[in-house]
Chains A and B, each alone.
Chain A
Amino acid sequence: MQKSKGERVFSVFNGIFLLFIICTVVFPLAHILSISLSEKQAIINQTVGLLPKGIRFDAYKYIFLKPAFLTSLANTVGLTAAYVFTFWFALWQHMRFQKISMENGWLPIFLLLLCTFQGV
């Protein structure tokens, strides 16, 4: 397929736009991840950037050995699974009876329901 000049210019700008957005998302998250892995002294001195200084899993060990954390994790996962299953089953039955398929615009509705009730 031949691309016109305007389209080529557009796709370059489009790529830059998306790259910018992804940078704003990835850098803060990478920073948080590296803080969670760094040594305490490096965090206090604020020298941790995008890469962790001196990898340590102490924080992760601490939370995963706490029974309270594991209980809350199990509850969260269980609730979400219950919602997903309920909606998926209800929608599946509905589509089976009405003889429609996911492709007919029901996928976004399904996602919408799921995300609305996830926070319940």
Chain B
Amino acid sequence: MEDVVVSKIKAVKMKKNRRVFKKKRDIPIYILLLPALFLIIIFNYIPMYGIIIAFKNFSPYKGITGSEWRGVENFKYFLLDNNFWRVMKNTIIINFYKIIFGFPMPIIFALSLNELTRTKIKKLVQTLSYLPYFISWVVAAGIFIQILSPAGGIVNILINKIFGIDPIYFLAKKEYFVPIVIISGIWKDFGMGSVYYLATLSTIDPTLYEAAKIDGAGRWKQTVYITLPGIKFIAIVLFIINIGSMVTIGFEQIFLLYNPLVYDVGDVISTYTYRLGIEQTRFSLTTAIGFTQSIVNFVLVYSANKISKKVAGWALW
């Protein structure tokens, strides 16, 4: 009994010790921190100064400080613009489906790969699965455009042989564009996404499985009660990161796949700002859009984290 009390007191003391600032111990550690801190300040915080052009009528000749102030005119302009709300809607719809279908895919793949007993085949399948991650979107979009093309694309040839319908120009049809974006996104990223889960699966203690086997648990029960709780941690991290980019979609993928025929469903915030900013050189307006986007993303990450803390009892911070 006394031992327990003593060790408890020791633990409390140690906890207190950690909080105290010790010159000899802590100053070198803070010095070690400095380069990283400078890097973040120089590349992440100082450029934030440029955000003020969102409140100005920026012209490259007058510079950031020289341009005249416009207040919230830029924000008013795009918030009252129907086009902006259209691209906002598209962005959220595409991201919503991406999370619904794209998020579980790496988990399913990792679990199913984990069931393979032969290590050599496992390694081979895993290596092949993350090959698409390493090719650029230019090539990946080229592949998708080619296999979906109405002139000699493999999908159209198959459809023609099985159902006997005329070739469909998939990328020019509004109803097919979103599924194509989702599927190509999954195709490219599922392998790399499953690497996190496979790495986590390999860290689960094998004795847990042995104990479960002795207790009479089958493969399914083992998966539900050991494997899934084991990957909960990394799944939450990845989910919060995904939620954090809810109003952001990678520019390249959409830009390379879309065309004016599918602007109604395929035009997203990043491509819209590209056309406004680079093609029409309206830098202030696009900065205002980017600023709003960042704020929305921040709020989403923050609430996702809060919800995860409540529901799963664990969160990023």
Contact = CB atoms under 8 A, between A and B. Distances in A.
Interface of A: 4, 6-7, 10-11, 14-15, 17-18, 21-22, 24-26, 28-29, 31-32, 46, 103-105, 107-109, 111-112, 115-116
B199 A21 contact: no
B237 A112 contact: yes
Interface of B: 109, 112-113, 115-116, 125, 128-129, 131-132, 135, 139, 142-143, 146-147, 152, 187, 191-192, 195-197, 199-200, 202-203, 218-219, 233-234, 237-238, 241
Contacts of B202: 107
Given A108-B199, A112-B237, A18 B131 contact: no
Contacts of B129: 21-22, 25
B116 A104 contact: no
A104 B192 contact: no
B131 A108 contact: no
A107 B131 contact: no
Given A17-B112, A21-B109, A107 B199 contact: yes
A24 B187 CA distance: 8
Contacts of B109: 21
Nearest to A36: B139
B125 A18 contact: yes
Contact of A25 (B146, B187, B203): B187
Contacts of A103: 203
Nearest to B190: A21
Given A14-B115, A29-B131, 4 more contacts: A25-B132, A105-B233, A108-B200, A111-B196
A11 B143 CA distance: 32
> Do most interface residues of chain A lie in helix, strand or loop, or is the interface mixed?
helix
Contacts, number: 67
Contacts of B139: 32
B143 A112 contact: no
B199 A14 contact: no
B186 to A, nearest CB: 10
A116 to B, nearest CB: 8
A46 B132 contact: no
B218 A4 contact: yes
A11 B118 CA distance: 12
Nearest to A13: B112
Nearest to A93: B32
Contacts of B131: 25, 29
B237 A18 contact: no
B218 A111 contact: no
B196 A108 contact: yes
A108 B232 CA distance: 12
A107 B233 CA distance: 13
B19 to A, nearest CB: 17
Q: Which 10 A-B pairs have the closest CB atoms?
A: A108-B199, A107-B199, A28-B143, A108-B196, A108-B200, A46-B152, A108-B234, A105-B203, A14-B112, A22-B128
Instruction: Select the residue from B143, B152, B191 with max chain A CB neighbours within 10 A.
Output: B143
B45 to A, nearest CB: 16
B41 to A, nearest CB: 16
Nearest to A3: B219
Contacts of A107: 199-200, 202-203
A77 B211 CA distance: 46
12 contacts: A7-B218, A18-B112, A18-B113, A22-B129, A25-B131, A25-B191, A28-B147, A105-B203, A105-B233, A108-B197, A108-B200, A112-B234
Contacts of A14: 112, 115-116
Contacts of B200: 105, 107-108
Instruction: Select the residue from B139, B143, B197, B199 with max chain A CB neighbours within 10 A.
Output: B199
Nearest to B132: A25
